Structure 1
Amino acid sequence: MTEDRDEGLEKRRAQLGAELANKRSEVGGEDASDVRAEVSRKGFAQAIKLSSEFVAAIIVGAVLGYIVDRFVGTAPWGMIILLLLGFAAGVLNVMRSAGMVATPSETDRKGGKD
């Protein structure tokens, strides 16, 4: 009788161990999908940031070019030149934000003089 009881307990313990292992693997899978979703959200936020910086630089260049043309009377040259400068500034901002171009240090800004 004691042997039957011990056998039943061992069987039940093995069954509970298997169920626990299944639950742990399911929870681990959910954690992995949460991590992947978080990485995806961070990538999307970075893309929105970079694109908005690029578009803003172009718009600022175009508006400044329009203002210069309006007050100085150099149409369309002020708009063309400042639009191109805005484009170049936008590309530089995106490259800096992406880490492809280093931000100049203080010594570089001063011309290497201490």
Structure 2
Amino acid sequence: MAQGSPKGPESDGPTQPGDEALSRRLDTLEAKLRDVEARKGSVRKTEGQSPNMSGIGQALRLSTEFIAGIIVGGGAGWAFDRWLGTSPWGLIVLLLLGTCAGFFNVARAAGLMKSRTGDKSGAK
């Protein structure tokens, strides 16, 4: 081994004064990295979807969210009218509320997908 080469951790040679501080700092950084990776893994497991959802999958999910809100609102309005006999008003009001709920569901779902795809670059 040449005299100018650095001593590895397996060598029995003398250590530099900064080696211990550097070693502690490296251990701390490795622990932080393991912690962040563990949190990322647990988040992905709880999402229930792959982060690389295809475009057609996103479109189907968003359209389903919107249509479900309209159908639930319209069905509830129809049932409300049949039950109380308030012919078109319950259907109109609850259909509008269902449409608003569908818009909010779509916005929420699109916002979640946007944040998932935005995290790939690592820049904030």
Q: Structure 2 length as normaliser, TM-score? A: 0.47
Q: Paired residue for 1:47?
A: 59
Q: Aligned partners of 1:88, 1:57: CA distance in 2, in Å?
A: 8
Instruction: Give the % identical residues.
Output: 54
CA RMSD of aligned residues (A): 1.5
Q: Deviations over 1:59-109 (max 9, x none)?
A: 000000000000001110000000000000000000000008xxxxxxxxx
Q: Aligned partners of 1:45, 1:71: CA distance in 2, in Å?
A: 38
Q: How does 1:59-98 map to 2 (within 5 A)?
A: 59-98=71-110
SS across alignment from 1:57: helix
Q: Aligned partners of 2:65, 2:107: CA distance in 1, in Å?
A: 11
Q: Number of aligned residue pairs: give it.
A: 61
Deviation at 1:58, TM superposition (A): 0.1
Q: Aligned partners of 2:106, 2:100: CA distance in 1, in Å?
A: 10
SS across alignment from 1:87: helix
Larger gyration radius, structure 1 or structure 2: 1
Q: Aligned partners of 2:110, 2:75: CA distance in 1, in Å?
A: 26
Structure 1 gap segments, 5+ residues each = 1-38, 101-114
Q: Structure 1 length as normaliser, TM-score? A: 0.51
In the TM superposition, structure 1's runs of 4+ consecutive aligned residues that sit over 3 Å from their partners are none
Which of the two has greater helix per residue?
1
